[in-house]
Amino acid sequence: MVRYRRNFIPGGTFFFTVTLADRRSRLLVDHVATLRNAFRAARCERPFSVDAVVVLPDHLHAILTLPPNDSDFAGRWRRIKGYFSSHLLAASIDLKRRPNGDLVLWQRRFWEHTIRDEGDFARHVDYIHFNPVKHALVRRVCDWPHSSFHRYVTEGVLPIDWAGDVGEGGSFGERPE
């Protein structure tokens, strides 16, 4: 089996993609309040900052910054996933199990990328905020409710019409057919 190499940097900033096992599921947006509570619970136990986040039906993207002298992002994701899963079970949501009894809610791993500099950070924030448009869930970034984009607008970092409207046409890097 391939051994994954993770870049454990105390106080580091990381981009993550965390995905449900069933890519057709809508559990994350259908139970977004539970997911928010999972983040709160994890942050109370082991602090970290959420620099940017978007929650889509079957996956989420986030940029998290850990405190100095702490590099355990895996433990934080374990807590977030565990809280969300256990609260769905407590709410009698029917979740599939593997033959050994383990839940099949989340993909077993997550993808992470170490943020290298301010430009890298900015590109990943843009990717996060534009993701609902990329997946054709909305035409404008501001129309997706489960995104830190709204915090960025409130704080004056981004304008409400950032990235425009995909219905306006224009080239977004796709090759012409």
Residue 170 has pLDDT above 60, yes or no: no
In a domain, 52, yes or no: yes
**CATH number of the domain that 56 lies in?**
3.30.70.1290
36-49 tens-digit pLDDT:
999 999 999 999 99
Which helix (H) or strand (E) covers residue 51, if one does? strand 49-55
Q: Using a pLDDT cut of 90, give the percent of the chain over it.
A: 80
Beta bridge partners of 165: 140
In a domain, 7, yes or no: no
Q: Which of 140, 137, 129, 130 is nearest to 164 (CA)?
A: 140
First to last CA, the chain: 40
* Residue-number span of the structural domain to which 112 is assigned: 13-162
Residue 101 CA to residue 163 CA, distance in Å, equals 45
> How many domains would you assign to the chain?
1
Tell me the pTM: 0.89
70-118 tens-digit pLDDT:
999 999 999 999 999 999 999 999 898 888 888 889 998 899 999 999 9
